[in-house]
Amino acid sequence: MIKNSKSHKKCELDRQIKSFCDFLIFEKHFSNNTVASYSRDLLIFKEYFDQNKDKNFLTLNHEDILAFLENLYNFYIESSVSRLLSCLRSFYKFLLREDIVKKNPFAEIKNPLKPKNMIEILDVDETKNFLDRLPHATKLETRNKAMFELIYSSGMRVSEIINLKLNDIDYEENLIRCIGKGNKERIIPAGETAIHYLKVYIKSARLELQGKKSAKSSEFVFLNKNGTKITRQGFWKIMKKYAKQLNLNKNIYPHLFRHSYATHMLERGADLRIVQELLGHSSISSTEIYTNINRKFIKDSFFRHHPRK
């Protein structure tokens, strides 16, 4: 009898997780990447209950949550715990809405404070050094050059770069139509250098890569050597390869260029709200983290602009 009760709890959690993910897809219209992220976090939550069969996800109390958090900190860093807590807060908000639970046990649980000034960036010279040293002799090198010029010039996410389509580029106005998180559309400018290398790539190297592939695969801008859409993992591997070849001392990863893009814009006087729009942040607080990176810039800005120094 006890065994059946435990099995029932496990099946019920599986069912509610599926219902929640369906809700995110069909009612909230979240992107596949976002839903996949929620699913991964909820799998961690589910595995905890698989290992602690005396716990019931429907009747969690404060002590249960503390035990869960203690377990999390054995395996995950603060940012991962913070993300997972946000996911669980949304999950239980959904359960409350569906009248599955009577209260949201995570509503009063605060996320761990993120350490300040931990965002890495490349300075302007380091960014220029990386981009200028990129080879572009072969078709794959030409593609890579266009990708990396664009990611820094536009501040786009990797998911946005790999899903970019040919008809999303306005060459006359140097604008890019971008579909970001939550399937939100934004129009962002790209610099002359990025647009130049995009044109070079699309007119020559891309035609060779596409070959005789279907029309469906040909709508995407950046293709792999097989003529299909490049993947997130493929993008990552290419960047790591160049970081090694160019003997760069810093840890190079795709989001580093988005961080650098935002920081460099703000350092040169761009309005915070404009940078928020360009990055596709739904909240200004997400953009404000970039104002904490360069303390010297903030100090210099103060002495330049304050009327009573």
Out of 10, 181, 186, 240, pick the active-site residue. 181
Name 227's Cβ contacts closer than 8 Å, sequence gap at least 6: 209, 210, 211, 212, 213, 217
| Segment-wise mean pLDDT, segments of 10 residues, the chain, 309 residues | 50 93 94 92 92 87 87 82 92 95 90 65 91 95 97 95 95 93 90 96 92 66 93 92 84 89 90 91 83 58 56
At residue 2, the pLDDT reads 38
Distance from C-alpha of 27 to C-alpha of 115, rounded to nearest angstrom: 34
Q: How many whole angstroms separate alpha carbon 90 and alpha carbon 235?
A: 31
Q: What is the CATH number of domain 124-303?
A: 1.10.443.10
Q: What pLDDT does residue 287 have? A: 84
Distance CA 282, CA 286 (A): 8
Q: What is the pTM of this model?
A: 0.61
Name which of 176, 154, 147 is nearest 234 in CA terms: 147
Domain residue extents for the chain: 2-97, 124-303
Which residue is catalytic, options 103, 196, 255, 299?
255
Q: Of 160, 309, 281, nearest to 272 (Cα)?
A: 281
Question: What's residue 304's pLDDT?
Answer: 62
Q: Given the residues 143, 157, 206, 229, select the one marked as catalytic.
A: 157
pLDDT of res. 77: 79
253 catalytic per annotation: no
Give residue for tokens 């200028």.
Answer: 132
Give catalytic status of residue 73 as yes or no.
no
Is 295 known to be catalytic?
no
